[in-house]
Amino acid sequence: MVDFRNLDEEALKAWVVAHGEKAFRAKQLYEWIVKGVVSFDEMLNLSKAFREMLSAEGYLDNFHIVEAHTAQDGTIKVLGRLHDGNLVESVFMTYKHGHSVCVSTQVGCKMGCSFCASTIGGVTRNLTAGEYLGQIYALQALTGKRVNHVVLMGSGEPLDNYDETLRFIKLSTDERGLNLSGRSITLSTCGLADEIKKLAEEHLQITLAISLHNPFETERQTIMPITKRYSIAAVLEAVDVYIEKTGRRVTFEYALIAGVNDSDAHAEKLGQLLKGKLVHVNLIPVNAVAEKNYAPTASDKIFRFKSILSDKYKITTTIRRELGSDINAACGQLRAKHLKPNTNDIEIKNLNVFEGE
């Protein structure tokens, strides 16, 4: 079965022609796909025979929403079933400038960050670019709103799924497709230095975000095991290359965990590492995850941390507005509820849709 959302217009054309139809039918098919329809029956400008062939050979509904939670601030977190039955999460958020979707890139994750719920059962498989898009199509269909910003910050490590991530960036910025601007896509990574350098060569306008979370090498190793493969120095060197090649400001994400990485010494060290670079620091109070023993830093201490970075080290620093914290909107938390402890096996079979909680 073909996932039609996973084909670009050229590939659709080849498919259509190979199945005995005129090439221009691919354009019509693509327009329907981009509209986010899930049934071929809606494609009324295509013949019934062609529609029947399409549904015999492939499918559209590659992210079927099985559970949706709406937070008081309007953030919607959904759990979607992929065509093979795997479950992944996506989040829809509303900002001043429009609507944003937080896209998952893998089923689970193998990076092993100690504070993250996505990594609890390891990684099951990579998502395809079509499945990244499917999350956006499904959320646009659910909300009736057009998404104009995407963050690759759902479960998974986008640079551990490099080719599909690149293909997604190309597909979603296609002007006949979702037509996102490169600048409105943020790719967040735990710091795969080699892939960051490779990405620097792709001539993209996307925003790169680095999940740093600790400026001290041995401490970072204990919360982010990837540090043993790529040291902080290696990540910073890759970021320098990225900035030099793209001219784009890089974001550093820093989740503040009470008593773990929120001291003045951490802020000072972070300031020393990033001082003078074309970067921006985004401070995030850690989301408490039931399976983990972490609590967020108190707000007065967050402000103190911020002022060390911004006043002393002159680094642009923001504090992330927390959206959807009443609905377990942090990475992997919704899905984790449905997994047996420490596995990726889904425990419950019938899921419900909760709207307007």
Residue whose CB is less far from ligand SAH, 169 or 190: 190
The interface mask with ligand SAH, positions 214-253, x = CB under 6 A, is ---------------------------------------x
Residues 156-195 that bind ligand SAH (CB under 6 A): 157, 188-190
Among 40, 115, 168, 313, binds ligand SAH (CB under 6 A): 115
- Is residue 255 a contact residue for ligand SAH (CB under 6 A)? yes
Q: Which member of 79, 116, 223, 309 binds ligand SAH (CB under 6 A)?
A: 116
Catalytic residue numbers read 89, 331
CB atoms within 10 A of CB 294: 17
Among 126, 287, 297, 328, binds ligand SAH (CB under 6 A): 287
- Among the listed ranges 33-41, 113-121, 230-238, 263-271, the one in contact with ligand SAH (CB under 6 A) is 113-121
Residue 108 burial by Cβ neighbours in a 10 Å radius (0-12, 13-18, 19+): buried
Residue 26 interacts with ligand SAH (CB under 6 A)? no
Closest CA to 267 of 321, 313, 299: 313
Q: How far apart are CA 190 and CA 291, in angstroms?
A: 20
If you search the block for the tokens 């995850």, which residue do you land on?
A: 289
- Contact with ligand SAH (CB under 6 A): which of 232, 260, 327, 331? 331
Q: How far is the CB of 237 from ligand SAH (least distance, A)?
A: 18
**Among residues 82 and 284, whose Cβ is nearest to ligand SAH?**
284
Name the residue among 96, 86, 26, 44 with its Cα closest to residue 62.
Answer: 86
Per the listing, tokens 């890139």 go with 105
Under the binding rule (CB under 6 A), the answer on residue 153 touching ligand SAH is yes
Instruction: Give the residue with the Cβ less far from ligand SAH, 205 or 282.
Output: 282
Size of site (CB under 6 A) for ligand SAH: 18
- The residues of the shown chain that bind ligand SAH, judged by CB under 6 A, are 111, 113, 115-116, 153, 157, 188-190, 211, 253, 255, 284, 286-287, 289, 330-331
